[in-house]
Chain A
Amino acid sequence: MDWLNLVILPAIRVIIMIFVLLTGAAYLTWYERKLISRFQIRYGPNRAGIYGLLQPAADGIKAIFKEEIIPNHVDKVIYLMGPALALIPAIVIWAVIPIAKETPAIADVNIGFLWILAIAGVESYGLILAGWSSNNNYSLLGALRSSAQMISYELPMGVFLASVLMLAGSFSLVELVQNPRPWWEWIWLWAMFPFFFICILAETNRAPFDLPETENELVAGYQTEYGGMKFSLFMIAEYINMITTSTIMATIFFGGWKLPFGILQNVVILGPFVLLAKVLVLLFLFVWVRASIGRPRYDQLMSFTWKFLLPLSLVYMFITALLTIQFK
């Protein structure tokens, strides 16, 4: 058995990946706080380190050293499982995402799309169980909202993804990036991007679709009874999800680690940086939307997905199927 190639090297890559993700999530909070404070005519964190760059570290230390309080009225085992169940899928989903040429992904499985859909489906369990085990009405309402919302928005998202893989002709994300696409395919993809982005906003529980944790109605939704590091795990999961989904969007819609028109295609080391730049731009979109768009009501959100997004995605898939048959 080839231990080096089968176990040790992948393990090292996994550890590096997890480290990068956790740091990335921490610095995404900094990125978001800096950006949103600029939208709101203020400075944002600027005390810890230059430009407040040590703020995420300070936050992490604070969260770790907070007293771990477990309320008496909760279902303890499930209560503690909640944050873990939210965080684990957020990391595991990264197994199939290509970040550069030659070292495409930790696991270049040929069912990358299905993996993403499956893991995204598991993610909502963490939230639902957290809200249910908290034994608190606000948490329960938040959990119910999150389950309904995530399941509803996974439908159009899945149908959109199905259209994409129809065009690509493969379940693998690696192949999706590596195979060249004709120009009309790009335009057809970009036409779908705004709607896909809306699904992603709902899927990651980001504003304006942060209904499971609407502090104005539900105090903190499913997180109400959580504090300290347990609360931080939810937040880390949310921010990793933002990075993940941005990366997926960059991979599907904007060519992943490739520069446009085949520029510098053979410089492997550029791949991750190109991808990072695309992800940062997409993350900026997340923050921009949060700073300027109000939150719809829960029933409005649901009717939007069932009455508008889902039919739209089905029509889109139908036309995509026709296009694929015609041109491929």
Chain B
Amino acid sequence: MLKVSPIHRQYEVLPSLNDPSIPAMAPMPAGETADTQRIVERFGDGILAAGVHNGQQIVYVQPDQLLNLAKFLKEDAELAYEALIDVSAVDCSKLPQPLNGRRFQTVYQLRSYARKQHITVICPLENDEEPQVDSLTSVYQGANWPEREVLDLMGITFVNHPDPRRILMPAHWPNHPLRKDMPLGGEEVPFSFTWGDPEFETLGKQVLPAESVPPEVPPGMSRENMIINMGPHHPSTHGVLRLAVELDGETVINVDADLGYLHSGFEKTGENKRYKDFVYYTDRMDYLSSMNNNLGYVLAVEKMLGLEIPERAQVIRVIMSELQRISSHLFWLSTHALDVCGTGMSLLMYATRERERILDLFEMVCGARLTLSYIRVGGVWKDLPPAFLGNLRHLLEILPAAFDDYEAMLTDAPIWRERLEGIGHLSREDVINMGLTGPMLRGSGVDWDMRRDVPYCGYENYEFDVPVRTAGDCYARYEVRMAEMRQSVRILNQAIARLPEGPYKTEDRKVSLPPRAELDVSMEALIHHFKLVTEGFHVPAGLGYHGIEASKGELGFFIYSDGSGVPYRLHVHGPSFNNLFAIAKMCKHHMLADIVTNIGSIDIVLGEVDR
């Protein structure tokens, strides 16, 4: 069993400046919208509070009405919140006066694609010791994995959940790590300069004893058939994904995904880091699109701060985001072709060649190629170097021809079409109900792109098309991604044309560091510098969710702030995690080889799935 050793050093409590207002609850939403009005009318006392907060519709609901509310939200023609994007939970035990003395809240993000509306439903749970709430899986299929994640990390039981197992942590893990009474790092990290020190006595013993794999097969599978174990070390699971596959001959009957081999507790880490320091961690989640991860997190924080970003910084962000999208898609294309077609496939090297050019550009702006941390709260890290735009223009001339080459190799190649068409079919209803996002959504005929429909970073000023295909198979998703790369080039051309002069980060000294020259002449600048470096900036108490269109789908950050310089609760909605949920449905009754096609088509990065 896990024990916190006596010599375990408690992490220093980050400063709250003796401010009596910290920590504070997020304020209740105020005002009303047509939607919240309709909900309150229907449910009356079942709704604790409803309104708008941080520009976001929020409804607090009693746990006994949650399931009814979800049904109402989905089925009511005027509301039509068809998709459940995300489920998370907050442990309020360290806040001054949890709502009506209730410790846990579950938080649901719902989306209406038709009406372009987003609503947050928060449900404070009654029982603090054994919290439980109705599962929404009967209404939204996509609630399955996110609810398992909450069960795993927060210890909230979902009643009537079809598959109540842990998902990220090992099955025998003794606690629920995201609860506030769990310290960061349950085990000690021995550190000393001399081997004789008592700190090393427990070295190697702090890890849980390995438990043998339980003999029983995953639920829904039978020993009658052949069960093979794909992963965690398998050439085409893109990391450490493990799939238990039930086979009848070569036909797949059942697939069960086992996640968590790369679980690194980003959320827990984030809750112990200052806001500005978590940017560097976001790189490591979806390590193929760190710019987009930076951007998603930074935008969520800026939304909470209510910060205005200079125009130049916005355009730079768009440039970086689109470059990253192309590079991520190129990597997807090359590995997908490799998975489907075999090692000899030269496309891997061709697409990597173009991706290297993009990474060269990233190296120009921030010195790194993979973990970039270039986009910071308040703007970007440094201004663009003088040679950047010339190189970018050159790249944009090359790229369309390169895309033509790739399409010439694949799009009409009979074997490629045979392998992709009709494989991994998902209908429009499926993808919405499962809460899938990104190209998965657009490949099945849902015309939705966060950049166009919930614009951020000034995306409303750019002209671009959202490629949509209705076939819903792997080939449709392939077409969507190829078309997206071309659209990204289009956006980049417009961004270069409109890149204005001006500051590349906000002038707000509460958030961004003053320039070095100012420190010599201004006492105030010196104070700001000192405060920012020592304790970072404070974010007003509140909660907010912000989603962006990352290359793999909707990347959302849910932040609950208690008014201090450290997020009270930080939840990451990774698109790979939700999209991977579809793997079971996509693979059923297809051949073994199609599993590989489907994994490639979902485009997962395990760093983001497991977080």
174-210 of chain A: CB within 8 A of chain B = 207-208, 210
In whole angstroms, how far apart are the Cα atoms of A39 and B349 in the complex?
A: 9
| Contact with B596, one of A138, A217, A299 (Cβ below 8 angstroms) | A217
Q: Are A297 and B594 in contact (CB under 8 A)?
A: yes
Interface of B is mostly: helix
User: Which of B53-61, B377-385, B415-423 interfaces with chain A?
Assistant: B415-423
Q: Is B353 an interface residue (CB 8 A)?
A: yes
Q: Is B350 an interface residue (CB 8 A)?
A: yes
Known contacts A294-B337, A294-B413; decide if A214 and B342 are in contact (CB<8 Å).
Answer: yes
Known contacts A141-B250, A294-B416; decide if A217 and B593 are in contact (CB<8 Å).
Answer: yes
Residue from the set B339, B344, B350, B415 with the largest chain A CB neighbour count within 10 Å: B344
In whole angstroms, how far apart are the Cα atoms of A296 and B413 in the complex?
A: 11
In whole angstroms, how far apart are the Cα atoms of A290 and B409 in the complex?
A: 13
| Contact with A219, one of B234, B340, B348, B419 (Cβ below 8 angstroms) | B234
Known contacts A141-B250, A208-B415; decide if A297 and B346 are in contact (CB<8 Å).
Answer: no
Cross-chain pairs A/B with CB under 8 angstroms, 19 sampled? A36-B344, A36-B346, A41-B346, A137-B228, A141-B228, A141-B250, A208-B344, A208-B415, A216-B235, A216-B338, A217-B595, A218-B592, A290-B344, A291-B344, A292-B346, A292-B409, A293-B415, A294-B419, A296-B418
| Contact with B340, one of A39, A141, A295, A299 (Cβ below 8 angstroms) | A295
Rounded to whole Å, the gap between the CB of B412 and the closest CB of chain A is 12
Q: Is A72 an interface residue (CB 8 A)?
A: no
Q: Which residue of B lies closest to A138 (CB)?
A: B228
Q: Is B203 an interface residue (CB 8 A)?
A: no
Q: How many residues of B contact A (CB 8 A)?
A: 34
Apart from A216-B338, A216-B340, what 11 extra A-B contacts exist at CB < 8 Å? A39-B346, A40-B350, A141-B228, A215-B236, A216-B593, A216-B596, A292-B344, A293-B415, A295-B419, A298-B591, A300-B418
Q: Are A297 and B418 in contact (CB under 8 A)?
A: yes
B341 to chain A: which residues have CB within 8 Å? 208, 293-295
In whole angstroms, how far apart are the Cα atoms of A210 and B342 in the complex?
A: 9
B409 to chain A: which residues have CB within 8 Å? 292
Task: Annotate A144-158 by CB proximity to B: 1 below 8 A, 0 otherwise.
Answer: 000000000000000
Rounded to whole Å, the gap between the CB of B407 and the closest CB of chain A is 14
Rounded to whole Å, the gap between the CB of B586 and the closest CB of chain A is 15
In whole angstroms, how far apart are the Cα atoms of A293 and B347 in the complex?
A: 10
Q: Is A42 an interface residue (CB 8 A)?
A: yes
Q: Is B52 an interface residue (CB 8 A)?
A: no
Q: Are B593 and A40 in contact (CB under 8 A)?
A: no
Q: Are B591 and A41 in contact (CB under 8 A)?
A: no
Q: Are B235 and A299 in contact (CB under 8 A)?
A: no
B208 to chain A: which residues have CB within 8 Å? none
B127 to chain A: which residues have CB within 8 Å? none
| Contact with A297, one of B235, B337, B591 (Cβ below 8 angstroms) | B591
Q: Which 7 A-B pairs have the closest CB atoms?
A: A294-B341, A290-B344, A40-B349, A216-B236, A295-B342, A137-B228, A294-B415
Q: Which residue of B lies closest to A210 (CB)?
A: B342
334-370 of chain B: CB within 8 A of chain A = 337-346, 348-350, 353
A219 to chain B: which residues have CB within 8 Å? 234-235
Q: Are A216 and B342 in contact (CB under 8 A)?
A: yes
Q: Are A299 and B591 in contact (CB under 8 A)?
A: yes
Rounded to whole Å, the gap between the CB of A227 and the closest CB of chain B is 15
Q: Which residue of B lies closest to A39 (CB)?
A: B346
Task: Annotate B377-420 by CB proximity to A: 1 below 8 A, 0 otherwise.
Answer: 00000000000000000000000000000000100010110110
In whole angstroms, how far apart are the Cα atoms of A299 and B251 in the complex?
A: 10
Q: Are A296 and B250 in contact (CB under 8 A)?
A: no
B345 to chain A: which residues have CB within 8 Å? 291, 294
Rounded to whole Å, the gap between the CB of B355 and the closest CB of chain A is 13
B234 to chain A: which residues have CB within 8 Å? 219
218-236 of chain B: CB within 8 A of chain A = 226-229, 234-236
Task: Annotate A235-262 by CB proximity to B: 1 below 8 A, 0 otherwise.
Answer: 0000000000000000000000000000
Q: Are B593 and A297 in contact (CB under 8 A)?
A: yes
Rounded to whole Å, the gap between the CB of B560 and the closest CB of chain A is 42
Q: Are B250 and A298 in contact (CB under 8 A)?
A: yes
B350 to chain A: which residues have CB within 8 Å? 40-41
Q: Are A41 and B419 in contact (CB under 8 A)?
A: no
Rounded to whole Å, the gap between the CB of A315 and the closest CB of chain B is 22
Q: Are B346 and A40 in contact (CB under 8 A)?
A: yes
Q: Which residue of A lies closest to B600 (CB)?
A: A216
Task: Annotate B93-124 by CB proximity to A: 1 below 8 A, 0 otherwise.
Answer: 00000000000000000000000000000000
Q: Are A215 and B416 in contact (CB under 8 A)?
A: no
Rounded to whole Å, the gap between the CB of B52 and the closest CB of chain A is 50
A296 to chain B: which residues have CB within 8 Å? 415, 418-419
In whole angstroms, how far apart are the Cα atoms of A219 and B250 in the complex?
A: 15
A218 to chain B: which residues have CB within 8 Å? 592
580-601 of chain B: CB within 8 A of chain A = 591-596
A299 to chain B: which residues have CB within 8 Å? 250, 591
Q: Which residue of A lies closest to B343 (CB)?
A: A215
Q: Which residue of A lies closest to B409 (CB)?
A: A292
In whole angstroms, how far apart are the Cα atoms of A50 and B236 in the complex?
A: 35
Q: Are B226 and A137 in contact (CB under 8 A)?
A: yes
In whole angstroms, how far apart are the Cα atoms of A33 and B291 in the complex?
A: 36
Q: Are B235 and A215 in contact (CB under 8 A)?
A: yes
Task: Annotate A268-296 by CB proximity to B: 1 below 8 A, 0 otherwise.
Answer: 00000000000000000000001111111
Q: Are A208 and B342 in contact (CB under 8 A)?
A: yes
Rounded to whole Å, the gap between the CB of B343 and the closest CB of chain A is 7
In whole angstroms, how far apart are the Cα atoms of A194 and B595 in the complex?
A: 31
Residue from the set B234, B346, B596 with the largest chain A CB neighbour count within 10 Å: B346
Q: Are B236 and A217 in contact (CB under 8 A)?
A: yes
B343 to chain A: which residues have CB within 8 Å? 207, 215
Residue from the set A36, A207, A297, A298 with the largest chain B CB neighbour count within 10 Å: A297
Q: Which residue of B lies closest to A296 (CB)?
A: B415
Q: Which residue of B lies closest to A40 (CB)?
A: B349
B348 to chain A: which residues have CB within 8 Å? 40
B591 to chain A: which residues have CB within 8 Å? 297-299
In whole angstroms, how far apart are the Cα atoms of A210 and B346 in the complex?
A: 16
Q: Are A216 and B415 in contact (CB under 8 A)?
A: no
B353 to chain A: which residues have CB within 8 Å? 41
In whole angstroms, how far apart are the Cα atoms of A138 and B226 in the complex?
A: 11
Rounded to whole Å, the gap between the CB of A195 and the closest CB of chain B is 16
314-349 of chain B: CB within 8 A of chain A = 337-346, 348-349
In whole angstroms, how far apart are the Cα atoms of A216 and B353 in the complex?
A: 22
Q: Which residue of B lies closest to A288 (CB)?
A: B344
Rounded to whole Å, the gap between the CB of B411 and the closest CB of chain A is 12
In whole angstroms, how far apart are the Cα atoms of A207 and B228 in the complex?
A: 24
A137 to chain B: which residues have CB within 8 Å? 226-229
A293 to chain B: which residues have CB within 8 Å? 341, 413, 415
Q: Which residue of A lies closest to B417 (CB)?
A: A294
Rounded to whole Å, the gap between the CB of B474 and the closest CB of chain A is 12
Q: Which residue of B lies closest to A292 (CB)?
A: B346
A291 to chain B: which residues have CB within 8 Å? 344-346
Q: Are B349 and A42 in contact (CB under 8 A)?
A: yes
Rounded to whole Å, the gap between the CB of B335 and the closest CB of chain A is 10
B416 to chain A: which residues have CB within 8 Å? 294
Q: Which residue of B lies closest to A294 (CB)?
A: B341
B339 to chain A: which residues have CB within 8 Å? 216
In whole angstroms, how far apart are the Cα atoms of A173 and B129 in the complex?
A: 85
B419 to chain A: which residues have CB within 8 Å? 294-297, 300
